[in-house]
Structure 1
């Protein structure tokens, strides 16, 4: 666990590396719960972290803020370890019930998630008790249309998922497909600004308390993206390439080109940036930029991850 702010004793944050979302463990006398479960390749580690923290107690509940693979990839293994209930955003229920991997974004992003079930849903305006506090479910479209946040007025705590990080927010995926996402992200940030929040637990990175500064950075970044939507597309491609590298550790440019051909979110981003004939050159250009920033290593036709996996 890594945190720079003091959380209530009933709440623990397992801060994970970027491949996996943070896991928020909430424990009270009546129920144990975890909010978001990381990526599939880290599922055994997620189970071990929860098991170590709970001791002889069982995990009673899994809660997902949204169903991107880095937030729900541990669901299946946690459900196998404990007969726990699982709550997912209501808007995702049909896709999960049918296990429609295209609608769930797993195929679109070239990522992996093992099939899981659910026992209930989360609808904005609902309230639930976790860790001894009452939490309000707040809709958080923008990064993902179905996403929600959890807000506890006492102790003034927000689990923001990918709607707000200390330095930004998640890729605005709907905009890649020509759907509205920037306006929704703006509305979510404005909604957060109206809440009485002392601590934010983001989907990635340590919990933080300087909310005003984080919001200022987020509003500024969003304005920058809206001024030129190609910036969002370029960022999305880079994010998806680095994410895959963190999973597989190494691949060739030929493999990356195949991934682009098969992953619709990547294709949608690439279409905003270059004609299809230029996509191989685009991938090499982006890989060069990522290598220059230190996110990966280029070795001829091979691309290697540089970031350490958690």
Structure 2
């Protein structure tokens, strides 16, 4: 029963289920089960749409004498490593809570971002990519872009379709589950639908991917002016106001001292922004040349040899920092002949 051995009590009434993420550098997802009191147990985050993830969840629950029919589900955000397994475990009695209404919403957002990525990398970064919301997408377009993502081996980042009726939660809502009242804290940056859960009585923060302990969550934007990084850093203020004794992250180990980690992440992104600014000051004016000029933790030295998925994340992160710099007046933006370029 591999997977069942990966169940541990991490706080009063909170178990961590280690869910494997095959062929992924993150290696594992932390799924948290909240139990106790008269309410139904709540399972937080699920893993990919893979049998390995489903089996680990099933085996972990069975260790605690529970099945999928006994629990409700909370999804911190709509990335496939957190919600992809929902269709495999859904039961008629199960309630699903999240910050997004459906899988279609998640797929459309990804396809809009991929369309933006293709424009930026082809040099056709039209004025629509500057201070404009991502363009709406028809169902036919969405299906076509999903096919493109699959063709370039990026299926892993596509959220599978599911028919679960989702109860959409917002900032400040209270979710009563697992014998406790949990405050919903909406945060921005890593995902536009990201929600954390705060247990004030026990000083617990279920943080999803917003504040990871030893790695930095990916931040990406594909339309300059979304200010993803600015919104991510602004979310730290709300988190810093919470009285937290233990953070339960989506990946890696639980940790204490949330304020120290928020400070580290803020400093990391300031250093990153300064490096991007230097690349612009050195004469790189297109996003691809800027991305090539900054440092990445990638074992493949030549950018041209990177898989498209890695280039997608790198371009999105570079644009997030360019947008941040532009909002602060530290760089300028040119829009000419349907191209967006950057200057010191």
User: What is the TM-score normalised by the length of structure 2?
Assistant: 0.62
User: Aligned equivalents of 2:232 and 2:200: distance in 1?
Assistant: 22
Please state how far the C-alpha of 1:20 moved relative to its aligned partner.
4.4
What residue ranges of structure 2 are gaps of 5+ in the alignment? 1-5, 21-25, 115-145, 280-289, 320-344
Who is 1:294 aligned against? none
Given that 2:18 and 2:56 are in contact with CA atoms closer than 8 Å, whether structure 1 keeps it comes out as: no
User: Are 2:45 and 1:36 aligned?
Assistant: yes
**Alpha carbons of structure 1 residues 229 and 194: separation in structure 2 relative to 1, 3 Å:** farther
> 3-state SS of the aligned residue for 1:40?
coil
Who is 1:21 aligned against? 29
Equivalent residue for 1:181, pick from 202, 222, 228: 228
What residue ranges of structure 1 are gaps of 5+ in the alignment? 243-252, 273-310
**Deviations 1:26-81 (CA, angstroms, capped at 9, x unpaired):** 1123201111111223332333234323415533211111000111112111115x
Who is 1:7 aligned against? 11
User: Aligned equivalents of 1:160 and 1:233: distance in 2?
Assistant: 29
**Alpha carbons of structure 1 residues 88 and 21: separation in structure 2 relative to 1, 3 Å:** same
> 3-state SS of the aligned residue for 1:47?
helix
Given that 2:220 and 2:313 are in contact with CA atoms closer than 8 Å, whether structure 1 keeps it comes out as: no
Given that 2:34 and 2:43 are in contact with CA atoms closer than 8 Å, whether structure 1 keeps it comes out as: yes
**Alpha carbons of structure 1 residues 48 and 255: separation in structure 2 relative to 1, 3 Å:** farther
User: Aligned equivalents of 2:304 and 2:271: distance in 1?
Assistant: 32
Equivalent residue for 2:74, pick from 38, 63, 70: 63
User: Aligned equivalents of 2:304 and 2:261: distance in 1?
Assistant: 39
Count matched residues. Answer: 249
Who is 1:151 aligned against? 198
**Alpha carbons of structure 1 residues 181 and 119: separation in structure 2 relative to 1, 3 Å:** closer
Whichever of the two has the greater Rg, that structure is: 2
Who is 1:130 aligned against? 177
TM-align CA RMSD: 3.6
**Deviations 1:84-119 (CA, angstroms, capped at 9, x unpaired):** 111120xx21x52x4662425695664244322233
Given that 1:19 and 1:70 are in contact with CA atoms closer than 8 Å, whether structure 2 keeps it comes out as: no
